[in-house]
Structure 1
Amino acid sequence: MSNKLSKKLRLGIPAMLIGGALFTTAYQNSPSSRFINHYVDSVLSETQKRLPDNSLEGVKMADGLEVKTFATEPMLINPTDIDVDARGRVWVLEAYNYRPNITLNPTRKEGDRIVILEDKDGDGKADESKIFYQDASLNSPLGIAVLGNVVLVSQSPYVWKLTDTDGDDKADKKEVLFQGIGGEQHDHGMHTFVFGPDGKLYFNFGNEGRQLKDAAGNLVKDQFGKEISPKNYQEGMVFRCNLDGSEVECLGQNFRNNYEVAVDSYGTMWQSDNDDDGNKGVRINYVMEYGDYGYKDAITHASWPSNRTNIEEEIPKRHWHLNDPGTVPNLLQTGSGSPTGMIVYEGNLLPSTFQGQMIHCEPGHNVVRSYPVQKAGAGYTAEIVNIMKQEKDQWFRPADVCVAPDGSLIVADWYDPGVGGHQAGDQTRGRIYRIAPKNTPYYAPVLDFSKVQGAVFALQSPNIASRYLGWEALTKFGKSAEPELLKLWNSGNQRMKARAFWALCKLIDGKKYVEIALTDANPDIKIAGLRAARQLKLNVLDYVKQLAKSNDPQILRECAIALHGNTSMEVASIWADLATKYDGKDRWYLEALGIGASDNWDACFSAYLKKVSDPTSTPASRDIVWRARTNESVRFLASLATDSHISLKERLRYFRAFDFIKGKEKSETLLSLLRGNSPEQNEINKLSLNHLDVDFVKTSPLAKQSLSTLLASLNGKEYLELQTKYLLPEENPRLMSMVSKGEMPRQAAEALIKSPEGLMIVKQTINDPKKENLAIQLLNGIKSNGGQTSIDILKTLMSDKTRSATIRREATRAMGDSDTGQNLILAYLKENKIQKDFIPFAVEGVSKAWRRNVRIEASKYLGNSTSTNKKLPPLAELVTLKGDVKKGAAVFAANCSVCHQVNGEGMDFGPKLSEIGSKLGKDGQYLAIMFPDAGIGFGYEGWDLKMKDGSTMSGIIASKTETDISLKIPGGIIQNIKTSAVKSMKMMNNSMMPTGLMDGMSKEEAVDLVEFLTSLKRK
């Protein structure tokens, strides 16, 4: 582009090319999901792939779009997040100092940087890179929002407010906006702030955020006076607040790692959420205000793998508790992945397929894509349409996407062999790309804020930073801006009409323009009007009564949500009217009704019963009973749970619903369901007992008798689950029988030693010389328990010379099956407390320890610790070698399947690897195996637990509630522990995956293993 033309563009002459929605001559293209190759295919070496000049080799673009490089290293490195200002400059957050204590990578003592990239000559490439801010306190920040001369930086545990007071593109002032959010440098903490159409800030944090504190360190209270902490909310959350951080509202909870909320012009929120790695449960959500999104159990806070009645058959659905009343449904489940930045595209430059739609980065699958949505009842449906897909270079890791002032997309590429967890395999690279229709120049229109017209013009920009400046200017103009805003209101473009509405009601006359919006023909404008009425604290109930006459399910959804937190006399009647409009099919609407009745269920359900005499008679009313959380619904739940006209499988949902209701009435009603012992009644009895409080059962003779009768009819896992829950002493002989017959002996033995009566039987058996075989079976049953009771038994047997050699040998071997036991074995070996002929059994017992140092240290006492393994070739050579997939599968089975599953085969301990080849290339696979500490997946961190009885346990916490902890230990074994028995918990610095896994492999085995893992791709 010539300098002359560049100057004209920067003066704003060809405004028709702007991507904003009102600039109607912008480039249009027909909807298409077809792709074209960006470059001619060629074969590149691994070294050549890494060169910036080849960064787009292998990229496929949506038809009609092209991608060009805007900037590469060394102008920037490791971009975690970006924003684009009103001048078209790209602001980049860098993360060079990413988890150095884990990755062992070098660091910059000066700290990480915020870099501004600028295209000064209009050729679509950055010419200048300047540092806005660098400081040792800046450590791998994850979110940036440019709001005029203020920059908000999200870096758990802080949100920094950086201000450029003199306009020199340098931060002069640094303040804390929020703090106390999760741990430092945690990927699941605070994410980006977004300026909304209503003049508010929207933001979120993942499930490590936990709480929100203000600048003074006080817990923030939300719009209902509730502290934003685990006391009131759980896991990842979504928020809204004023520009100064005041009036924080919690808008949704119970996500895992919800990453960057995106808000459209109507005030509708969208975001992505990451599953526990390897469970194919990544999702896209429409964020229904005040909704619970089901990552953890809403009542017990147990993790999703925990067994529950009516558990979902498919793990991707089970992951989000989708069968539970009170869980908002997912918009779209996208399988595996590592989702990051998202925006709503409201420009005209891109093809119509993408206009008004989410655009999202998925670095796990090396793609930037869109999820076009369509309304479906009170909710939406969506599909996946790729925009930019890298098919040759798995180092392409799109971390964030923004819209430039001209309507083009700016994409940040983290560029790394790995993604997710805590891994960083490359510190020297990073790229920024621009996506636009072919031959579209890059520019930013000159914005004039001295006039109302200029401010309104900026408000229409597809670029958020420009809209913010327009809003701020309109705030200063006040009432004088009304005529220009009315022109925009009447322009015919609905999204621009919505933007005009928000400005009119927030800056001019709230009540007047809310009431105008509520009579508009467009349901989305009506919805925006009701949302504004709530924000402005107007008489919302009058407006809800007006809108509740509508038959539009989206409007009715908002009416139900608007009742949330309001317990005035009128609410119950209005809610009941809305509930009668539920059709029995629309889960979105049902959950909106649940949100509206929250904390007011007694009154709402009573009002509903006045309109529906028999709420068990129709699918719609049965759903209302299922969703209700009031004692008044209990009798109807009981009727439905025992209705023989409904299949027992369908009735499971009603038994599950009992878990969400508290009170004696529930327990007494469930107790009344215990009748007879027919096959079906036994199922009902079992379900009823499972949903009663344990103490209630033990104090009720009828419940206890029914439990005994039921246990007599059960076998295996079902029997052990109930017995482990209630620990009836009368069942101990049967548990002993199970051990002797090899029927789930570990679980049976562990159930025995949990009760005083059972422990006495175990000790009597071990002390009986005539029952030596049964004693050995008991030792093998309790060996992996690791609790003080089992350790004491084994320790006593090891040292008691009056015992038979067989018992002492087996006890010595069994001691090495738990972390506590392994520590004792090493101590005893060092102190020479194990007699010489038992040392081989002690070493054998720890030979499968996940801690490599334990295995190596113990083996020294056999005198044969010298390794004969040859050192593997360097990584650069390994990645060039071709292996055998079939042989690699055998290597995996021998070395990795004890902790990982592939397509259901193997142990469920570490992340599932069925699609790991879609996420990591060969280099990433080698790095993950050779340096496991550098890539610990969130949720798979190891924990050391010190118990009150003096023992220690280590493993992955699968679930933790106020009363119970489920601890996974290698081999897929679950240890159930009472929270009250734990003295302290500490997260391990190292991965539970042993280092040096490849040390014992030949070059061929290592190459075959990686070839196999790389072949595991999404189908």
Structure 2
Amino acid sequence: EDRDGDGRADHQNVFAGPFNGPLDGTAAGLLMHHGDLWFTCIPHLWKLRDADGDGQAEVQEKVFTGFGVRDAFRGHDEHGLILGPDGWLYFNMADRGYNIALPDGSRLFDPMDVGRGAVYRCRLDGSDLHVFYCGLRNAQEMAFDEFGQLFTVDNNSDAGDEARLVHVLEGGDSGWSMVFQYGTPAHTVTPTNRGLWHGEKLWHLQHEGQPAWILPPLAHFTNGPSGMVHEPGVTALGPKWRGSFFVVDFKGDPANTGIWNFKVRPRGAGFELDGLEKFVWNVAATDCDFGPDGRFYLTDFMTGWVGTGEGRIWALSHPAAVQDPAVEEVRTLLAEDLENWPTDRLAPLLSHADARIRLRAQYALAGGDADAALKIFTAQSQPGATTVPRLHGIWGLSMLRGGVGIPALIARVNDSDPQVRQQAARMLGDLHAETAAGALLSQWQTDGQPSVISQLAIALGKLHAEAAAPLVLTRLADNADQDVFLRHSLALGLSGMQGADALAALASHDSRSVRLGAVLALRQQRSPSLAAFLDDADDGVAAEAIRAIYDLPGIDAMSQVGALLEDHPRVLHFPEFTALRVLHAAARSGQAALVASWAVEPQASVPSRLEALHLLATWAQPDAFDRVTGYHRPQAERPAQPAQAALTAVLDSLFEADPQIVQHSLAAAASLQVPVAEPVLLSMARDTQLTPELRADLLDRLHAQASPQLTPLIQELLTLPTTRGPLRITAARLLALTDPTRGLDQLLHIITSDQVALRQRQAAVAALATVKAPAAAQHLARLVAAINAGQLDPGLALDVLEAARQTAAQPAAQELATWDAAHPATDLLAPLQPCLQGGDAQRGRQVFADNLAAQCMRCHKVQGGGGMAGPELSQVGVSERASPSYFLESLVNPSAFIVPGYGTAAVTLKDGSSISGVLKAETQDHLTLQDAAGSDRVIPTADIAERSPTISSMPPMGLILTQREIRDVIAYLLSLGKDGKAFIE
């Protein structure tokens, strides 16, 4: 609080607390309204009130409980409180889900998955809580424009996807679920695996073939959206920013963090981006808002992703605008107790230039004398005034108790202003005003505005106006799936107008768009009648029905989806994830023979055939988490016999397929205890047309079966020069079990031979560590001694050291002690020298893309994928500094060298002044800092008296990654740029 008016906070007190119970999350949202402080803190929505004026909340009511029912990332909280112009309180929950007990004894939860974010709304008395929009990841804040449209910017998942500007349209879904963060096993691409999120391009802008059940984003921008606000009309920033939005883009480092300004414009029933620019930059902003004084306030986290215990609040203003009398008038009005003003003084404020004043006046009138408010709102809504003040009349009418404003709202349904018509229809739908159905239907027949039709459809759906269904079908056909926001509203409305039987009958409709709309409506109803569309002639319509039946639990049509596998050519034509749903539906509904038939389908992709084999192998104990969607869908245990019979029938054909399929067929046979004749295994082990990896696996299977023919086979293979790689290593390892001397000699020869690929030599070291014979420990000791003497390939050092420590063999203890003494832990880099060589770039890219602890892609972009908080790495492998030692130090000591433009510095000059900013360049003679205004300051080194160290916001990877992971990441970084491309496509 600024008690002396000097522009700086000089007083604070604890209003309520401490909110630190075992289940309490981050205090993430506050909204003061009419003496009530609404407060979001997982797992509760609180309403706090200071009843006696002592500055502390005596009234602390848990309005709702049940937010955040699963784990997710830090900062994925309950937040976004905002008062809607329509009388509702809006707020949101990130992808930690919800399961909320409602007053009527029912529960509010997402039927698809517990890890889905949502936007909620309820009345200010806590009644009628419901989900308004869902499928968000972590949309921190939301903002209404002056026309009552709600927007947010949702965070990306740091895997090459983009943060998204979202139009929060009632009943919409962005498609995200927390399970996508961890990928799904059926996904064929391991790097950046985000399951359906990537696989079905759910986060992409609108495009052909996009799943129809989601609403696409309007635009892609930001990388860490958090605070968001809409310019209210009268501020100390000046007229340039009028009618625009501001959103914070927090990236962990002030060098790349700031606030964007943007506008939107209508496009059909939705919107599109209409201008985007940086507002203020080089500040670690986390939130922003306009103060009563008209200034633009932002919170400054200062640096990093983890709190330092310090922070700042900045206030920005234009020198001329801050002197505007209108700004002072708003400040005075916001300090007034408008709720106690007489109605004749409140009425003019509905036309005020500032949205905050208009909204407070509207709420004050709606909560006061109902008769007076009805007259004022009715007059305010009439033609003659400009659009925005009229809308406050519309919204005010909807807030009056007992529905007394409904007749006046009905009168505005045919208004000449489409914004007024749109909001009148929306308010009548919210009020479930049955008497409005006729007027809404009549207006539909003449209205040509998609945005108005959108709200008419939703409203008539809430009124269950069956007579409107033909109008919806005509509009669906005319729209031809071009305006997806209109299609959504039409389908949502249709779900309330017609029952499942009537919707299923539309399966024979001539229009593909009508049939798709019917599927979307049935999805809203979660009806098994969706099965009527599985045989649709259009693959897109059929795929949408498959998604609905498979993804939503409890729709009794899974067996019909699985039966589609009888028609292989049809399924082969489906997109990858649609085909996988069909395959898994067959497994879930017990159709083992169909699953096996896909395993031998030569035209199917190898990954999908492997998936079929996995489903057979785990038939008796299916996975608890669905391998296509990632959702928790446990099944009861069941007899293995159907899968055994199905696999047996096709096993011979499988053995003639791709080596991967052969290998997985053998695994399935072993899991199901389906016998494979020993002569077949021996024959395949000798087959030089098969891969060494598969033949090595066959040796292990023969060993598991205690085959008496194994030892002669191994001896035979080891005499052949064609026995190489994993086959020779496995043969030597198994030979060591019966003949340690010969087996270990073979392994040692592989390890020490410079004619063998390094990756195979590393594998041989791992194999040596599994041999329990005393001679194996002696060999490991000699290899450690060779490292100490500098006589072993450095690419093997980490493997040998880890193998020696793993076996805890006494012969190696002394040599390990010698190594440790020469590489003390007090030296940050010395113990990590074995990480410099021998890494696997392919594994390194998986760590870079998928390691949830390191989250490399959250900050670094590679060829278009990833974040922007750190420097782009697409060409880092061919940069001037590129070397193993440079990358190692950068990983474990990120502040050792910071790329110009990605760190902040502060200097004190010899004249006593100080300058801080982003370090843009540094030479022996000069330092260049970019200040918060974006200007470069070139500072002679001779003028600097003191300089603070430049700190990186990146955490030291030595505390997060294993040494093997560090070694692999170094190999990956060295590879970037050398082949002209990077791995993220």
Pairing 1:165–2:51 present: yes
Aligned-residue offset at 1:624: 3.9
- Note closer, same or farther for the CA distance 1:329–1:412 as it changes in structure 2 (3 Å cut): same
Greater CA drift, 198-207 or 654-663: 654-663
Work out whether 1:355 is the aligned partner of 2:242: yes
Offset of residue 236 of structure 1: 0.3
Q: Given that residues 852 and 994 in structure 1 are in contact (C-alpha distance below 8 angstroms), is that contact kept between their aligned partners in structure 2?
A: no
Is 1:480–2:372 an aligned residue pair? yes
Shift in alpha-carbon separation, 1:731–1:853, aligned structure 2, 3 A: farther
Q: Counterpart amino acid of 2:218? A: L
Deviations 1:291-323 (A, max 9, x none): 222114999998698469998686852999982
Superposed CA deviations along residues 830-884 of structure 1, whole A, max 9, x for unmatched, are xx9944344589999xx99999999896376442161644779999xxxxxxxxx
- Using structure 1 for the length normalisation, give the TM-score: 0.61
Which residue number in structure 1 is paired with residue 441 of structure 2?
545
Instruction: Indicate the structure with greater helix content.
Output: 2
Give the gaps of 5 or more residues in structure 1. Answer: 1-116, 642-650, 813-824, 876-887, 933-990
Q: Aligned residue for 1:977?
A: none
1:914 equivalent among 861, 867, 877: 861
Cα deviation for residue 769 of structure 1 reads 10
| Distance in 1, Cα, partners of 2:226 & 2:219 | 16
Deviation, 1:480, is 2.7
1:328 aligns to what SS in structure 2?
Answer: coil
* 2:176 paired residue among 281, 292, 295: 295
The separation in 2 between residues aligned to 1:729 and 1:436, in whole angstroms, is 79
Quick one: which amino acid aligns to residue 536 of structure 1? Answer: L
Residues 1:196 and 2:84 are matched in the alignment: yes
Q: Residue 427 of structure 1 is aligned with which of 309, 315, 323?
A: 309
Equivalent of residue 261 in structure 1, options 142, 158, 161: 142
Task: Return 5+ residue gaps in structure 2 as ranges.
Answer: 189-194, 618-646, 706-728, 749-764, 784-794, 873-886, 895-954
Kindly state the Cα deviation for residue 372 of structure 1 after the two structures are TM-superposed: 1.3
2:611 alignment partner AA: E
Amino acid at match of 2:582: H
Corresponding residue to 1:694 among 582, 586, 597:
586
Partner of 1:836: 774
Q: 1:428-467 counterparts in 2 under 5 A?
A: 428-436=310-318, 438-441=320-323, 443=328, 444-446=331-333, 447=336, 449=338, 450-456=341-347, 460=352, 462=354, 464=356, 467=359
Aligned to 2:755: none
| Shift in Å, 1:143 | 1.0
Mapping for residues 128-277 of structure 1, pairs under 5 Å:
128-133=10-15, 135-137=17-19, 140-182=26-68, 186-208=74-96, 210-213=97-100, 218=101, 227-230=108-111, 235-277=116-158
Q: Specify which structure has the bigger relative contact order, considering alpha-carbon pairs within 8 angstroms and separated by 6 or more residues.
A: 1
Instruction: Report if aligned partners of 2:509, 2:515 keep a CA contact under 8 Å in 1.
Output: no
Inter-partner Cα distance in structure 2 for 1:243 and 1:523: 28
What amino acid is aligned across from residue 717 of structure 1 in structure 2? P
TM value normalised by structure 2: 0.63
Offset at residue 181 of structure 1 (A): 1.6
Amino acid of the structure 2 residue aligned with 1:471? Y
Deviations 1:318-370 (A, max 9, x none): 99998213111212222x61111222333144566643343211112512123
Structure 1 residues 412, 488: CA separation in 2 closer, same or farther (over 3 Å shift)? farther
Counterpart of 1:858? 806
Contact 1:615 1:625 in 2 (8 A): no
Of 635, 638, 642, 2:535 maps to: 638
Equivalenced residues, count: 763
Deviates more, 1:564-573 or 1:270-279: 564-573
Q: Which shows bigger deviation, 278-287 or 444-453?
A: 444-453
* Maintained 8 Å contact 1:625/1:637: no
1:902–1:119 CA distance, 2 compared to 1 (3 A):
farther
What amino acid sits opposite 1:524 in the alignment?
Q
Could you tell me whether the CA contact under 8 Å between 1:118 and 1:128 is conserved in 2? yes
Query: Aligned pair in 2 of structure 1 residues 834, 607: CA closer, same or farther (>3 Å)?
Result: closer
Deviations 1:247-303 (A, max 9, x none): 102111121112223234544221121121232321111112112221149999986
- Residues 462 and 228 of structure 1, relative CA distance in 2, 3 Å threshold: farther
**2:385 alignment partner, one of 486, 492, 502:** 492
* Counterpart residue type for residue 515 of structure 1: I
d(CA) in 2 for partners of 1:552, 1:848: 70
Measure, in 1, the Cα distance between the counterparts of 2:368 and 2:797. 68
Question: Do 2:549 and 2:557's aligned partners in 1 also have CA atoms closer than 8 Å?
Answer: no
CA, structure 1 residues 475+721, in 2 after alignment: closer, same or farther (shift >3 Å)?
same
The one of 695, 708, 724 equivalent to 2:614 is 724
Compare CA radii of gyration and give the structure with the larger one: 2
**Are 1:332 and 1:381, in contact at CA under 8 Å, matched by a contact in 2?**
yes
Separation in 1, partners of 2:841, 2:346: 61
Change (3 A) 1:296 1:373: same
> Do structure 1's residue 400 and structure 2's residue 287 form an aligned pair?
yes
For the 8 Å contact 1:283–1:333, the answer to whether it is kept is yes
What do residues 579-606 of structure 1 show as CA deviations (whole Å, max 9, x unaligned)?
3443441111222222223375635536
Mapped to 2, the partners of 1:528 and 1:707 lie a distance apart of 52
Q: Which amino acid aligns with 1:366?
A: T
> Residue 472 of structure 1: CA displacement?
3.7
Counterparts in 2 of 1:530-929, with a 5 A limit? Answer: 530-539=425-434, 540-549=436-445, 550-564=447-461, 569-570=466-467, 572-598=469-495, 600=498, 602-605=500-503, 614-616=510-512, 620-621=513-514, 623-624=516-517, 627=520, 629=522, 638=535, 640-641=537-538, 651=539, 654-655=542-543, 657-661=545-549, 683=573, 691=582, 693-695=585-587, 699=591, 703=594, 707=598, 711-714=601-604, 716-726=606-616, 728-733=647-652, 743=660, 750-757=667-674, 765=681, 777=693, 803=738, 805=740, 834-839=772-777, 858=806, 861=809, 862-863=812-813, 864=816, 866=820, 868-869=822-823, 894=839, 898-900=843-845, 912=857, 913-914=860-861, 918-920=868-870
Identity %: 16
Could you tell me which residue of structure 2 aligns to residue 520 of structure 1?
A: 415
C-alpha distance in structure 1 between counterparts of 2:575 and 2:840, whole Å:
44
Q: Does the Cα contact within 8 Å between 2:132 and 2:170 map onto a contact in 1?
A: yes
Structure 2: how far apart are the matches of 1:254 and 1:784?
A: 46
| Paired letter, 1:479 | D
CA distance in 2, matches of 1:718, 1:232: 24
SS of residue matched to 2:79 = coil
Within 1, Cα distance between the matches of 2:233 and 2:216? 29
Instruction: Map 1:79-90; keep pairs closer than 5 Å.
Output: none
**1:405 partner amino acid:** P
Change in Cα spacing, 1:761 to 1:344, as seen in structure 2 (3 Å) is farther
Residue correspondence of structure 1 range 62-141 to structure 2 within 5 A: 117-118=1-2, 120-121=4-5, 125-133=7-15, 135-137=17-19, 140-141=26-27
CA deviation vs aligned residue, 1:653-675 (integer Å, no higher than 9, x gap): 64454333478889669858956
Q: Deviations over 1:52-80 (max 9, x none)?
A: xxxxxxxxxxxxxxxxxxxxxxxxxxxxx
Q: Does 1:410 align with 2:297?
A: yes
Q: What do residues 431-451 of structure 1 show as CA deviations (whole Å, max 9, x unaligned)?
A: 333344645147512425332
Q: Structure 1 pair 755/705, CA: closer, same or farther in 2 (3 Å)?
A: closer
Paired with 1:926 and 1:244, the residues of 2 have a C-alpha distance of 58
Q: Who is 2:626 aligned against?
A: none
User: 1:360-394 CA deviation, whole Å, 9 max, x = no partner?
Assistant: 1111251212331111112111145224232xx4x
State the alpha-carbon separation in 2 of the partners of residues 317 and 685 from structure 1.
16
